[in-house]
């Protein structure tokens, strides 16, 4: 189990405030700080699935090109420090704690949300570290996301847009796409991989309305077909990689010193935990994946099917209550599979009996300890999978066998 959060006295639980989107609070706070965000340029990455992968690929590409690059992502798995990467590595606990302590009075005055507070800390950290370019992953939506306060977002990169966070962004794909398209502005340029027709229409309309050039890209070719080597596993990463490359090429067109060698190296060196990640427990293999919505489940199912015919497999699944867990299970499970449903600590979660009633699938509660559930999971005829939430990934990672 993850240890005690060393920042719990400085960052309130997100659940206490709930979703409270808006730009004005953070804009006011940054003005009081002397606008640290104006001391570096940015690329903003929006979308539903693949934002983190695109962001880390692009950060690795820029760093390989010799650019002092920062990376801001969410959520984290084991430490808040994972959210802020400086040119020399992740921010240290000591440094993040200093920034959060210094920002506490301002956060109270401006009534900042926890995400806005951490975003402000990231911007100050980037400015202090002499970052030239920051890659900013949108937290939620886009139009009213805290990262959108950055005034010099040179490139807007779009990951795949799908149904997720419908309670905050709207019930339809078009509504969700409109919130994400809200990051577009006339002084930037945008890139996107393939999208559903509804999302395509929204992105095109918004890009035209604000005068933002929008480039569409196809997935990168496989290695066998001459495509680049990727550090991230899975066919979906060919989609994400294409968006990262297009964003890097857009930066190069703006004069940033990014060449083909930096792009190849960055794609090869990118790492992102909890995405089609192969691990071992007690010497036995398992797959850990953060898929937590139907589009991500479809991508995971395609990856499993590409491995060839398989015997029934075991699943360990945990999902927050606001996610479409029934559809995810219908997508993933096959006849003969066994699945345990685990409650997420400190998060409202689906129960096994609720999901069994909703889907008709044979499910059982994971009432044992996480350690015992892992023992059950790896006793599987086919490669077992734990998925449904990055919070589940965070719960399990410390229990898995050490890797080189």
Q: Which two tokens stand for residue 77?
A: 């798995």
Please say whether the beta carbons of 219 and 159 come within 8 A: no
Q: Region 281-308: what's the mean pLDDT?
A: 92
pLDDT at position 166 over 50? yes
315: pLDDT confidence band, cut at 50, 70 and 90? very high
For residues 141 and 14, which has the higher predicted lDDT (pLDDT)? Answer: 141
pLDDT at position 339 over 70? yes
E-assigned strands of 206-281?
214-216, 277-281
In this prediction, residue 338 carries a pLDDT of 95
- CATH T-level topology, domain 14-269: 3.40.1190
In this prediction, residue 25 carries a pLDDT of 98
In this prediction, residue 288 carries a pLDDT of 94
71 burial type by CB count under 10 A (0-12 exposed, 13-18 middle, 19+ buried): buried
CATH 3.90.190.20 fits 277-399, yes or no: yes
Q: Which two tokens stand for residue 220?
A: 């990168």
| Per-residue pLDDT tens over the stretch 193-250 | 999 999 999 999 999 999 999 999 999 999 999 999 999 988 889 999 999 999 999 9
pLDDT at position 2 over 60? no
In this prediction, residue 4 carries a pLDDT of 65
Q: Region 150-169: what's the mean pLDDT?
A: 90
Q: Region 56-79: what's the mean pLDDT?
A: 96
Angle between helices 260-269 and 236-253 (to 10 degrees): 150
Q: What share of the chain is helix, strand, coil (3-state, %, to 5)?
A: 45, 15, 40
Per mean pLDDT, which range of 14-23, 48-57, 301-310, 363-372 is the poorest?
A: 14-23
Q: Region 122-139: what's the mean pLDDT?
A: 98
Q: Which two tokens stand for residue 139?
A: 């937290």
β partners of residue 315: 339, 385
In this prediction, residue 345 carries a pLDDT of 78
Alpha carbon distance 380, 377 (integer Å): 6
Alpha carbon distance 77, 126 (integer Å): 21
- Cα torsion 285, 291, 297, 302: sign: negative
Please say whether the beta carbons of 125 and 91 come within 8 A: yes
Alpha carbon distance 317, 300 (integer Å): 13
Q: Which two tokens stand for residue 17?
A: 């405030």
List, by residue range, all CATH 3.90.190.20 domains of the chain. Answer: 277-399
Alpha carbon distance 187, 96 (integer Å): 32
Alpha carbon distance 335, 316 (integer Å): 16
DSSP 74-98: S--SS-GGGGEEETTEEPPHHHHHH
To 10 degrees, the CA torsion angle through 233, 236, 237, 241? 170
pLDDT at position 261 over 80? yes
Q: Report the run of H or E that residue 325 belongs to, with start and end.
A: helix 325-332
Cis preceding linkage at 75, omega within 30: yes
Alpha carbon distance 76, 66 (integer Å): 26
In this prediction, residue 1 carries a pLDDT of 39
**DSSP state for residue 49 in the 8-state scheme:** B
Q: What is the mean pLDDT of the chain?
A: 94
Quick one: which of 320, 331, 383 has its CA closest to 167?
320
In this prediction, residue 18 carries a pLDDT of 76
Q: Report the run of H or E that residue 330 belongs to, with start and end.
A: helix 325-332
Per mean pLDDT, which range of 154-158, 179-183, 292-296 is the poorest?
A: 292-296
- CA 204 distance to own-chain centroid: 24
**Could you tell me the pTM of the whole model?**
0.91
pLDDT at position 369 over 50? yes
List, by residue range, all CATH 3.40.1190.10 domains of the chain. Answer: 14-269
pLDDT at position 93 over 90? yes
Q: Region 106-113: what's the mean pLDDT?
A: 97
Alpha carbon distance 358, 333 (integer Å): 14
Which SS3 state, helix, strand or coil, does residue 5 take?
Answer: coil
pLDDT at position 3 over 70? no
In this prediction, residue 403 carries a pLDDT of 74
Q: Which two tokens stand for residue 138?
A: 């949108």
- CA 258 distance to own-chain centroid: 24
Q: Which two tokens stand for residue 389?
A: 């939430």
Angle between helices 260-269 and 51-64 (to 10 degrees): 130
């Amino acid at each position: 189990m993850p240890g005690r959060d060393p920042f719990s006295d400085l960052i309130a639980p997100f659940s206490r405030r709930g979703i409270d989107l808006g730009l004005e609070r953070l804009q006011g706070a940054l003005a009081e700080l002397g606008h640290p965000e104006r001391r570096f340029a940015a690329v903003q990455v929006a979308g539903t699935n693949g934002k983190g992968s695109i962001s880390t690929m692009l950060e690795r590409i820029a760093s390989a090109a010799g650019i002092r690059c920062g990376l801001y992502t969410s959520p984290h798995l084991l430490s808040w420090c994972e959210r802020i990467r400086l040119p020399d590595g992740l921010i240290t606990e000591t440094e993040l704690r200093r920034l959060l302590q210094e920002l506490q009075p301002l956060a109270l005055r401006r009534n900042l949300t926890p995400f806005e507070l951490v975003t402000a800390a990231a911007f100050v950290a980037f400015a202090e570290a002499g970052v030239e370019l920051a890659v900013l992953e949108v937290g939620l939506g886009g139009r009213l996301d805290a990262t959108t306060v950055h005034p010099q977002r040179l490139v807007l990169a779009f990951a795949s847009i799908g149904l997720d966070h419908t309670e905050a962004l709207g019930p339809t794909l078009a509504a969700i796409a409109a919130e994400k398209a809200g990051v577009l502005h006339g002084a930037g340029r945008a890139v996107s991989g393939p999208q559903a027709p509804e999302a395509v229409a929204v992105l095109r309309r918004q890009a035209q309305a604000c005068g933002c050039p929008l480039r569409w890209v196809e997935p990168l070719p496989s290695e066998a077909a001459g495509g680049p080597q990727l550090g991230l596993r899975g066919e979906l990463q060919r989609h994400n990689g294409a968006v990262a490359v297009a964003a890097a090429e857009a930066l190069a067109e703006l004069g940033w010193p990014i060449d083909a060698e930096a792009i190849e190296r960055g794609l090869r060196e990118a790492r992102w935990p909890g995405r089609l990640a192969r691990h071992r427990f007690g010497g036995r293999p398992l797959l850990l994946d953060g898929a937590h919505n139907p589009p991500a489940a479809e991508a995971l199912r395609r990856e499993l099917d590409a491995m060839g015919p398989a015997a029934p497999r075991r699943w360990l699944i945990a999902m927050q209550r606001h996610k479409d867990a029934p559809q995810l299970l219908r997508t993933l499970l096959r006849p003969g599979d066994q699945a345990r449903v685990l409650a997420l600590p400190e998060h409202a979660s689906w129960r096994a009996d609720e999901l069994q009633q909703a889907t008709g699938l044979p499910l059982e509660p994971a009432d044992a300890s996480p350690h015992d559930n892992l023992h059950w999971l790896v006793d599987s005829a086919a490669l077992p999978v734990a998925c449904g939430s990055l919070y589940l990934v965070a719960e399990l990672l410390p229990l898995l066998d050490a890797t080189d």
